Amino acid sequence: MTAPVTTPDDAPRPADPGVPAGAPRWPGVDPAWSRRAVVDGHAWHYLDNAASLPAGETPHGTVLCVHGNPTWSYLWRSVLAAGAEAGWRVVAVDQLEMGFSEHTGAHHRLADRVAQLGALTDHLGLSGAAWDGLPVVTLGHDWGGVVSMGWAVDHPRELAGLVLTNTAVHQQASKRVPALLRLARHRSVHSGATTLTSAFLDVTLSLAHPPLAPEVRETYRSPYRTADDRRGIGSFVEDIPVGPAHPSHAELTRIADGVAALTVPALVMWGPKDPVFYERYLRDLLERLPHADVQRFEGAGHLVVEDADVAGTVVRWLQRTLEGRSAAPGPLPADAERPEAQPAKALPAGEGISSEPAGRAGGYRPLYAALGELSGSGAPAVVALSAAGASSLSWADLARRVEHLALGLADSGVRAGHRVSLLIPPGVDLTTALFACLRLGAVVVLADAGLGLKGMTRAVRGAAPDHILGIERAMVAARALGWPGQKFVVVPSGHEEGYTPPRTAHSRRRTFGIAGSLRELLARGAALAGAGTALPAEPAPEDDAAILFTSGSTGPAKGVVYTHRRLAGMCAVVAETYGLSPERPFVAGFAPFALLGTALGATSATPDMDVTAPATLRAGALADAAAAIGASVVFASPSALANVVRTAGGLTPAQRDALARVELFLSAGAPISSARLAQVLEVMPNAEPHTPYGMTEALPLTDVSLEQIRAAEADAAAGTVAGAGNGTCVGAPVPGARVLLVPLDDDGAATGDPTAEPGVTGEVLVTAPNLKDRYDRLWSTQDVSATWPGWHRTGDVGHLDAAGRLWIEGRLAHVIVTPDGVVTPVQVENDALSVRGVVRAAAVGVGPVGARQVVVVLETDPAVHAGARRAPSLAPEGLARAVRAAAHVPVAAVLRVPEVPTDVRHNSKVERARVAAWAARMLAGVRAGRP
């Protein structure tokens, strides 16, 4: 045995593939980190940030990083830097035959690599008899993830945590190895692609999003200049266990079994755009590590460490999980009580429905409770209108269908805790499926079609459902795009007797991988109910109930997890705030509210409209839905209501009478001005207009009526209430909710201590009994949003006035830092909207950070401005002058476009980031097209 020796990098390098003399100069790497060791005759190169740690301070622990193929320790440079700042020692090794460790041409199997890594860590004092006592957290990528897991399994004493990026520890016998790896292993390609040329290396480096900088790419290539240098790449590919006969299969199986027995904290970070490690590998890892925290980085791929903030996420995870360090930069006010610790108030009592059913303590009432309480009623529960006519179910029919579907689903393998994606338009089938799943304890995944096909794919794959219930189009998309889960098709009017499905996805089951239909599930459930089969036990209040997806207007749509208690809290808050009850039927022109009626015991109707485009709601369709149930309440988004106003001229006298009977309408989903609310009031003249403020993470949080908005605006104009003005008033907090502000600093960042002081602009911080439980598989996003436990950082910017009303000023990401100070966009946009003929406005910043100028981009009414639909350009002089005169801050430029882009789901939220990028190009003289 050769005596172990550790030397600085400027020492002699046996079998050294071209390392330049002296300390290396690699972008992002401190030369002092580069080290060498000789262990058992093997020459190792590794990076170690010990020299960058504070002198005299003991590290919190050691992060052991293991790269995959064909990278090397350079992959972990950001983790080394971040770890040094946070007081963690980080050691990143070059596996033998890789990077700047020895290149002798030897072939190392998986078991060899695991044992060799253990020998090196024994030598370094990270493990074994010479262990320094510091906890070790492993961090692996690609096939280095398998090696790191092997080390973790073999070192339970030293192991404190397991962190993984895109990797795999099991290959299903029924599944093929990913296509890129199959190609690289093919005997006619293998040698040429991996060793004789740099093709495999080049393809791997090309997977970065965005592309690697030239100097970074060249650094990755530096250990692999010649065919001899690349022999390790080829042998690493060959050692991938593709089946039981492979020499490394037994070791892979040993590691996979061992990982499943680990109980230490774990974090899995994933780049979903990886063409090598598919989502199925992530699902397998989570089955083995069900306690693991997960962070999916949408837009990131195989080189997730290059694509996303892996280093920052690792450090924060270490601080929260192993150090127990709080994320809060400052304290909450002394009186900031956490209402989620209080029981949600019970729903208001109504005829045939109890406000607090027996056996449900603390006011908790699950959403499906009304079905049992109204199961004997023949009154309508759900009405859905479409071009094909109306469909409806009584409470008795709905309760029976829900019971039958729940039994049918259970018989088909749906269990409590399973995720069920419902890809069904609002109506009787969606209502039935939702409440059946909730009653079973399955977790409902709701990602509506308003996200678009690309957004839907991200959402469904991210949630990784165990089952899918969807219409035929969803089955086609699921087959084409590889959406996971056992599939059940929902055919039009499938609940009617004698329905014969067309020859589509329903009849071609094998092609689309369909296990059954909603109709068959109902029939099977009816048979089981007739035989006396009982439903499973009810889920507990703290069990997961639903994953709802955000609109995607501020980035990729995020899954928001609600427990049964928190969903019940949402229902109770809506009922208490608006006086909703079984006696007040309502029309839901905004999909999220379509399901509240059933939970409230109230009749609900969905109008004939395209739910993926709220602006398709016509006044006639709204009136017909209101007439069908005698509605007294209407829910709709601002864009839907705007189209109602535009199409109101075609209403018949009977339709006008139906809308005149509406007592309350709510505009939800995006801010709406008092002027727009007043226009809707002309269509529903006897209704009280309200607009709640909230988000998928908590809805509602505040509420305001048109009368209250006008009073707030009058206070702002008169200056009688401190803090009134600058933004859009969204009212006071609803029962149980609390609102604070995290003040902005001079750079536009929310860094202050939370406060309720009037007039202080900051990020809106909220808490409520109906607040989300967490984001789904977005550990980092959740950590940032829950800086103060039990509270949610909304990303919105606003302030409170002295009357306790919240004014929204924009999004934190859209704050404009000018040479004269911080400018928030909403009031600038409101100023522009006061100009005659302006129908939509976006206030954005153009220029370098800290010296940005305010630019206003307008969409105008063709009836007022003849050139409204012309190609984008500078606004006409008169229009620009009027906007500048109305604005309360200097405006550098005014541009006009045919249409200001808005988000897909609501058609209401201006996409300011997109507009800002377009305006910068436009003003720079670059041909920009439309935003």
Beta bridge partners of 140: 66, 164
Residues 47 and 147 in one domain: yes
Q: Read off the pLDDT of each residue in 765-775 and give the average, rounded to a whole number.
A: 95
Domain boundary among 292, 321, 350: 321
Q: CA of 176: how far to CAs of 181, 282, 463, in Å? A: 10, 16, 23
Residue 776 is assigned to a structural domain of this protein: no
The answer on pLDDT for 759 being more than 80 is yes
Q: Which helix (H) or strand (E) holds 118?
A: helix 110-124
Domain boundary among 511, 542, 557: 557
Percent of residues, the chain, with pLDDT higher than 70: 90
Q: Compute the distance between CA of residue 840 and CA of residue 846 in angstroms, rounded to an integer.
A: 19
Give 305-339 pLDDT, tens digit per residue: 999 999 999 999 999 999 998 888 778 887 776 55
Residues 55 and 150 in one domain: yes
Domain of 278: which CATH number?
3.40.50.1820
Give the number of domains in the chain. Answer: 3
The answer on pLDDT for 591 being more than 70 is no
Give 88-108 pLDDT, tens digit per residue: 999 999 999 999 999 999 999
Residue 381 is assigned to a structural domain of this protein: no
Contact in structure between 486 and 466 (CB atoms under 8 Å): yes
Model confidence at 773, pLDDT cuts 50, 70, 90, reads very high
Residue 646 is assigned to a structural domain of this protein: no
Supply the DSSP symbol for 196.
Answer: I
Q: What is the pLDDT of residue 172?
A: 73
DSSP states of 306-352: HHS-HHHHHHHHHHHHTS-----SSPPPTT---GGGSPPPPPPPBTT
Residues 430 and 309 in one domain: no
Residues 264 and 411 in one domain: no
Q: What is the pLDDT of residue 11?
A: 37
Residue 258 is assigned to a structural domain of this protein: yes
Q: What is the pLDDT of residue 237?
A: 87
Supply the DSSP symbol for 753.
Answer: -
pTM of the model: 0.90
Residue 836 domain boundaries? 815-931
Task: Note every long-range contact of 581-585, with CB atoms under 8 Å and residues 24 or more positions apart, other chains counting.
Answer: 581/348, 581/349, 581/350, 582/350, 582/351, 582/352, 582/353, 582/374, 583/350, 583/351, 584/632, 584/633, 584/663, 584/664, 585/629, 585/630, 585/631, 585/632, 585/633
Q: What is the pLDDT of residue 186?
A: 61
The answer on pLDDT for 604 being more than 70 is yes
Question: Which range is least confidently modeled, 70-84, 326-340, 574-588, 599-613?
Answer: 326-340
CA dihedral of residues 79, 80, 81, 82 (deg, nearest 10) = 40
Residues 429 and 288 in one domain: no
> How deeply is 29 buried, as exposed, middle or buried, from its count of CB atoms within 10 A (0-12, 13-18, 19+)?
buried
Residues 259 and 406 in one domain: no
Residues 926 and 837 in one domain: yes
Q: What is the pLDDT of residue 345?
A: 40
Q: What is the pLDDT of residue 592?
A: 63
Give 105-122 pLDDT, tens digit per residue: 999 999 999 999 999 999
Residue of 356 and 701 predicted with greater confidence: 701
Residue 904 is assigned to a structural domain of this protein: yes
The answer on pLDDT for 928 being more than 80 is no
